[in-house]
Amino acid sequence: MNPTKADKLTSIALSVFKLNGQLIEWGNHFTQPHGLTSARWQVLGAIAMAEQPPNIPQIAATMGVTRQGVLKQINLLVDEGLVQPQSNPTHKRSPLYSLTQQGQATYQAASERWQRHTQEMAAGFSASDLDAAIRVLTAMSQLHHAMGESPT
């Protein structure tokens, strides 16, 4: 018998688990020459994409992880000189973070490699399939967001 839509959702969930592991592994490999890991690269990205220098809870919210998880990576990135804290005028204990010169250079180098990679991959996919995948993944994300409250 043909798979039901429910079966397909199960299959997608399993694919997400598998692909997540592969992407992390690949990202670690990929960012190693730049002295990064998948986790730090994502944090750098969250800071680089923000309009204003964010504080830790804001970074955590955009990444969808807890602020404690971001805290660990941020402190390491500061130690490595890729990210710098600046005093937050509106909250004495919660500094805002921005990329250092070195952080910007590192992030940009990794970004360019990633872009080349996605452009190579893109040839094998149809735009409509990609749009459908985005629709499905974001919808699943929102459904689960609705029932399990977001991280504290």
Partner DNA sequence: GGCACATTGACAACCAGTTACCAACTTAGT
Partner DNA sequence: ACTAAGTTGGTAACTGGTTGTCAATGTGCC
Gap between the Cα atoms of 34 and 28, Å rounded: 10
Gap between the Cα atoms of 8 and 38, Å rounded: 29
Would you say 20 and 8 are in contact if contact means Cβ atoms under 8 Å apart? no
Residue in 33, 44, 64, 67 binding a second copy, rule: CB under 8 A: 64
Gap between the Cα atoms of 103 and 80, Å rounded: 9
DSSP 95: -
Residue 72 interacts with a second copy (CB under 8 A)? no
Question: Does an H or E element contain 97, and which?
Answer: strand 96-99
Binding site for DNA (CB under 7 A): 21, 25, 28, 37-40, 42, 55-57, 64-69, 71-73, 75-76, 90-95, 151-152
Binding mask 97-136 for a second copy (x = CB under 8 A): -----------------xx--xx-xx-xx-xxxxxxxxxx
Residue in 1, 5, 52, 93 binding a second copy, rule: CB under 8 A: 5
Residues forming the site for a second copy (CB under 8 A) = 4-13, 15-23, 25-26, 29, 42, 63-65, 114-115, 118-119, 121-122, 124-125, 127-141, 143-145, 147-148, 151
